[in-house]
């Protein structure tokens, strides 16, 4: 397929017959919310940049030998964030997500910061009561609050474990407060130091999950040499192969029912990380709808 810059501004630049809401099985939900960033700002620009980069993703998946976009992928307009009132923002996210999920769509949310995940999980839990969350991240995000905010990006998974179990993958930076709280939380952590020496780590990660899985990917979970464009970079981390191994395992043995990709912080002149996020989403969709 020859593709030009005049394509529609939606995920993958799809024509109407493959991006109409009613016939699409997937809905892309761009959420440029950034309120509690604690190091480098800029995640609010990520949804736009991921969608722009996606127009250069080849639609044929050579591994799956199919064109995943034919399932239909609709892109919503960017949500207008409610800044200054985190509770109201989380409630609005829940209400929008609930409508998408109840319409039997597979929701892909583009952050923005990781604080957006808990209301999305809440909406999915209503439909899938046995749900657990698979988290890719450098940080556990299990602080009860951070800088006085319970809806901080540093507390994203603490709000989630109050609702359902979480399997945290790739963790390599955690506070004493979080470690001390772990025995009381519905958390299973695969630290990066253990992943590096265990060829079956991704099997163990999926073993800890129930049938229905919500997949949340904080992009700083990847090695910072591959993913420098994030607000809180950490050395080391998952490789592209690691992510593909885990994605193949979880989609073959469990049912992934929702996805978010968060914490990309686009940088001028560096486009590879933006494209990586777009390609990652397309690869996960291909596996989820294999």
Assess if residue 115 is contained within a domain. Answer: yes
> Distance (Å, rounded) from C-alpha 81 to C-alpha 89?
7
Assess if residue 263 is contained within a domain. Answer: yes
Query: What is the SS3 assignment for 14?
Result: coil
Assess if residue 114 is contained within a domain. Answer: yes
Using one digit for the tens of pLDDT, what is the confidence trace for 63-88?
Answer: 999 999 999 999 999 999 888 888 99
For residue 5, what pLDDT is reported? 57
Assess if residue 248 is contained within a domain. Answer: yes
For residue 199, what pLDDT is reported? 95
Assess if residue 182 is contained within a domain. Answer: yes
Using one digit for the tens of pLDDT, what is the confidence trace for 251-283?
Answer: 999 999 999 999 999 999 999 999 999 999 999
CATH number of residue 89's parent domain = 3.40.800.10
Q: In this structure, are strands 132-136 and 73-75 parallel, antiparallel, or unpaired?
A: unpaired
pTM of the model: 0.95
The CB density around residue 255, as the number of other CB atoms within 10 Å, is: 12
For residue 139, what pLDDT is reported? 96
Assess if residue 12 is contained within a domain. Answer: no
Dihedral sign, CA of 67, 246, 171, 118?
positive
For residue 7, what pLDDT is reported? 81
Mean pLDDT of successive 10-residue stretches along the chain, which has 290 residues = 69 97 98 79 94 97 97 97 89 97 98 94 98 97 80 88 98 96 96 95 98 98 94 93 98 98 95 98 97
Total count of domains within the chain: 1
Assess if residue 144 is contained within a domain. Answer: yes
Assess if residue 282 is contained within a domain. Answer: yes
Structural domain of residue 65, as residue ranges? 22-288
> Distance (Å, rounded) from C-alpha 183 to C-alpha 71?
42
């Amino acid at each position: 397929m020859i593709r030009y810059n005049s394509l529609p501004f939606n995920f993958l630049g799809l024509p109407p017959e493959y991006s109409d809401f009613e016939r699409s099985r997937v809905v892309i939900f761009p959420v440029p919310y950034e309120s509690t960033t604690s190091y480098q700002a800029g995640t609010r620009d990520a949804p736009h940049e991921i969608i722009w980069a996606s127009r250069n993703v080849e639609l044929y998946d050579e591994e799956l030998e199919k064109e995943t976009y034919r399932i239909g992928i609709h892109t919503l307009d960017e949500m207008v964030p409610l800044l200054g009132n985190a509770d109201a923002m989380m409630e609005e996210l829940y209400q929008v997500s609930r409508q998408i999920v109840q319409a039997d769509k597979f929701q892909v949310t583009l952050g923005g910061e990781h604080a957006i995940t808990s209301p999305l999980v809440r909406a999915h839990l209503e439909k899938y009561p046995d749900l657990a969350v698979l988290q890719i991240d450098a940080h556990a995000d299990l602080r009860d609050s951070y800088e006085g905010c319970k809806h901080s990006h540093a507390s994203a998974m603490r709000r989630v474990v109050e609702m359902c179990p979480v399997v945290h993958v790739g963790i390599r930076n955690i506070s004493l407060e979080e470690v001390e709280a772990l025995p009381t939380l519905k958390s299973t952590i695969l630290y990066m130091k253990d992943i590096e020496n265990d060829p079956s780590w991704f099997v163990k990660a999926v073993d800890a999950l129930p049938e229905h899985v919500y997949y949340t990917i904080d992009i700083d979970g990847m090695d910072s040499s591959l993913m420098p464009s994030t607000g809180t970079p950490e050395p080391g981390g998952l490789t592209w192969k690691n992510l593909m191994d885990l994605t193949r395992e979880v989609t073959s043995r469990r049912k992934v029912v929702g996805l978010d990709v968060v914490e990309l912080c686009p940088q001028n002149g560096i486009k590879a990380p933006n494209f990586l996020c777009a390609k990652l989403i397309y690869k996960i969709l291909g596996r989820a709808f294999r």
